[in-house]
Structure 1
Amino acid sequence: MEASLRQLAAYVAVAKAASFTAAAAQLHVSQSTLSRAVADLERVLGVRLLARDTRNVQLTAAGQETLRVAEQIVGAHRSGMKELQRYLLGESGMVAVATLPSVAAVLLPRMISAFRGQRPLVTVRIMDGLERAVLGKVLSGDADFAITTVGAPSDRLEHRPLIRDRFHAVLPEGHSLADCDEVAWEDLAAEPFLAVGPQSSVRRLTDAAFAQAGAEVTLAAEASNVATVGGLVAAGLGVSAMPALVLPLLGPGHILHRPLVGPVVERRLDVVVRARRTLPVAAAAFLDLLEESRTRALDVPVGASWVD
C-alpha cells in the first residue's frame, strides 16, 4: 500500500472534524481537493473509510482503525519535522569538542555553562586527549572542532588563535627556588626534573625551552598524567614546569609555582577546524561564544591571556 502523507493528513482532518467543509477550512484547501485526497486513499487501501450523506460524515470500522494508524503516522511526521527544524536552527543536537585536558577542565566549563543557558537542548561532548589524538578527531570528523596547541602545519586544518598561557616552575613547598619571584629555566634544570610523557605538547614545549636556555636536564621521573607529576613534586622528589591552565590539575598537595624566565615561554592554544568545511549551526554558535569571550577579554586564570 502506497498511501501518501498528504492523503493520510487529509483523512485525519476530515475524520476528526466529521466534516469536509470544516476540514478544508482548517487545512486551507478547497473541499474538492480534500475529497479527492480521501477518495484516493480509499482506492489505495481498497476499503470504504467514510459513510457520507448530505449532512454527516461517519467512519466505517475500517475508517476507525485507519484513523488510529494515520494519526500515529502524521503525528510522528510533525514531531520529526519539528525536531529537524530545531537542529537546523542550532537549537538541538550535539557539539563535539576535541581538546587538551587542561582546556577541558579549566577553560571550557564556564563556556559550556553559558552556551547551555542559551541552547539547553544542545549536548556538548568533550573528547580530551593529547595533541595528536585531538587533531585526529577533527580530521576524522568525530569532532566539530578542537582547541589545542599549534602543531605541525597542515593544509587540511585551519587555525584561529584563541588563548595563551605562560609556563611556570612547579616546586615543592620549602624549596630554595620558592623564595624567588621568578625562576630561570637554567636554574630549574639544575634540579631533579619531573616530566610528563614525550607524547604531550607540554613536554615538547619544555624540552624546547631548556634547549633555548642552553640547559641540560636530569630526569628524575616521567609520568603521562599531570596529576601524577604534581604528586611527585609535592612529595619532594623534584621540580617540574607547566603552563598556567595545567596548574589547577596538579592535584592536592604542598606545591608552589613561580613564573619562568630566560626565556619566557607561552603555550598558544588555537581553535582548529577542518579546512573548507561548513560547521553545523550549533557548533558555529559555540565558536561564536568563544570568539565573544576572546574579544571581550573575559577573566581567565592567572598566567593565561586571550590572544589579540
Structure 2
Amino acid sequence: MKIDRITLDQMRFVVTIAEQGGFTRAAEYMNQSQSNLSRTVSLVERNIGVKIFDRTTRHFALSDEGEQFVRMARNVLEFYTREANYFRDYLNGVHGVLRIATLPSLAATFLPSLIVRFRQEFPDVRVEVTDFTAQEVLSRAVEGTIDLSITATDEDYIRDDPDRFDLLPLATEEFFCVLPTGHALANAEEVEWTQLRDESFVSFGDSSSVRRIVDRALASRDVQPAQTVSARSVSSVAGMCAAGIGASAAPGFVLPLMNVPGLVFRPFAGEPVTRTIGLVTPKGRTRTKAAVAFAQLLNTVNAKDLHLPERTTWHQGGGQRAKEHANSPSADAHTPDPRGRAQ
C-alpha cells in the first residue's frame, strides 16, 4: 500500500464522487471530465490496493474499504482546511499570540486601554504582557522571546548603540516630587531639587530606570540627600514615603501606582527632568503581523484616547502634551492629582 502518495486533490475527488453519488454528478459539480475522475480513482485504488467503489452500469456504491477511505479522507481534508485557515489568519495577524514586555508602571497604566482597542480589531489574538525592569525588557527583545518591547529609552546602553536598535518614541513624562503629607514641602506649589539636599530620600532599586534618571538629576545639581533608603517595587517606595521615611521622585506613569493615603505629588521647578518611553526593536528583527498591527496602533493613536499623566507629551498620532488631561472625566480614575489628591 502506497497511501503516502495520495494527494489532497485526489482525496477531494474521491470524497466528492461519494457525496454526489456517482461520477456524472461529481464531474458536473467539480467541472471535471468523467475520464479524469476515473483515472484519479483508479490511481488511488492502485496505491491503496483495494477498490473504493463497486460500480456497474446499473449500480454504484462505496465498498466497505471505500467507506473507511472516505471517512479518513474527510478527516484529513477538514484538518488541513482548518489548520490552513488558521495559518492564513495568523499570517494576517488575526490569530496567534502577541507577547509584550514592558515596565510595571506601563503595564498597569499605559497599556490596558491600548490592549482594549487592539482586541476590538483582533479579538482572537491572545495578548501576553510581562513586566520587567528596563534592562530585562531589552534583554528579552534581544533574545527574541517577546514580540514587542516598550520601555524607557533614556538608557545609555540604548542611546550609545543606535545601530543596534530601532526606536519609536512614544511619550515623554516629567518627574514629580513624592512627599509624605506631613512634610515641610508638602504645601509648596513646586519643589526645587536642591531642597532635597539634606532630606531623607527613598530611592528605587539599582535596576530601575527611574533610579538612574533621579541619580543623574541629583548629581547634576550637587544634591546629596542626608539618608537614602532604596526599594525595588513601586508599592514599597510609596509605602515608605507615606510612612514618613523620606521623599522620593517618580515620573508620571508611576504616580498612579503610588496613589496611596499619606502622599502628595508636587511638580519640580526649573528645567523638567523627564523619562522617554518608546518601542524598542533590534534592527533586522521581523515582526509578526499581530506585532505590526499593535505597533501601527501605537503610531496612530491620539493622546486624547489615552490616560496620560499630567505634563506628559505624546509623540505619535500628531503629538500632544497632556496639561489638563489628568483632570478630564475620562482620566479621573487613572491619574492622581500631582498635588496629591486622589481625583
The structural deviation recorded for 1:38 is 1.7
Counterpart of 2:113, as a letter, is R
Contact 1:19 / 1:57 at 8 angstroms: preserved in 2?
Answer: yes
Partner of residue 131, structure 1 = 134
Tell me if 1:75 matches 2:75.
no
Contact 2:109 / 2:307 at 8 angstroms: preserved in 1?
Answer: no
| Aligned pair partner of 2:195 in 187, 190, 200 | 187
The structural deviation recorded for 1:27 is 3.0
15-24 vs 226-235, which deviates more? 15-24
Contact 2:110 / 2:307 at 8 angstroms: preserved in 1?
Answer: no
Partner of residue 90, structure 1 = 93
Contact 2:110 / 2:306 at 8 angstroms: preserved in 1?
Answer: no
**Residues 75-127 of structure 1: CA distance to partner in whole angstroms, max 9, x if unpaired?**
10010111111111111111111111111110000000010011100111112
The structural deviation recorded for 1:303 is 3.0
The CA distance in 1 between the partners of 2:266 and 2:29, in whole Å, is 73
Contact 1:98 / 1:129 at 8 angstroms: preserved in 2?
Answer: yes
Structure-2 change in CA distance of 1:62 and 1:188 (3 Å): same
The CA distance in 2 between the partners of 1:56 and 1:128, in whole Å, is 69
Name the count of aligned residue pairs.
Answer: 308
- Paired residue secondary structure (1:41): helix
- Paired residue secondary structure (1:269): strand
Counterpart of 1:261, as a letter, is A
The structural deviation recorded for 1:223 is 0.7
Tell me if 1:38 matches 2:46.
no
Partner of residue 258, structure 2 = 250
The structural deviation recorded for 1:276 is 1.9
Normalising by structure 1, what TM-score? 0.95
| Aligned pair partner of 2:177 in 169, 189, 193 | 169
- Paired residue secondary structure (2:185): helix
The CA distance in 2 between the partners of 1:299 and 1:230, in whole Å, is 21
Counterpart of 1:208, as a letter, is R
Partner of residue 60, structure 2 = 57
**Residues 177-197 of structure 1: CA distance to partner in whole angstroms, max 9, x if unpaired?**
111111111112321000111
The structural deviation recorded for 1:26 is 3.1
| Aligned pair partner of 2:269 in 261, 266, 274 | 261
- Paired residue secondary structure (1:97): strand
Counterpart of 1:91, as a letter, is V
Normalising by structure 2, what TM-score? 0.85
The CA distance in 2 between the partners of 1:248 and 1:296, in whole Å, is 18
Tell me if 1:281 matches 2:281.
no
Unaligned runs of at least 5 residues, structure 1: none
Partner of residue 339, structure 2 = none
Larger relative contact order (CA 8 Å, sep ≥ 6)? 1
Contact 2:98 / 2:125 at 8 angstroms: preserved in 1?
Answer: yes
The CA distance in 2 between the partners of 1:44 and 1:189, in whole Å, is 88
The structural deviation recorded for 1:299 is 4.8
Contact 2:167 / 2:280 at 8 angstroms: preserved in 1?
Answer: yes
Unaligned runs of at least 5 residues, structure 2: 320-343
The CA distance in 1 between the partners of 2:282 and 2:238, in whole Å, is 35
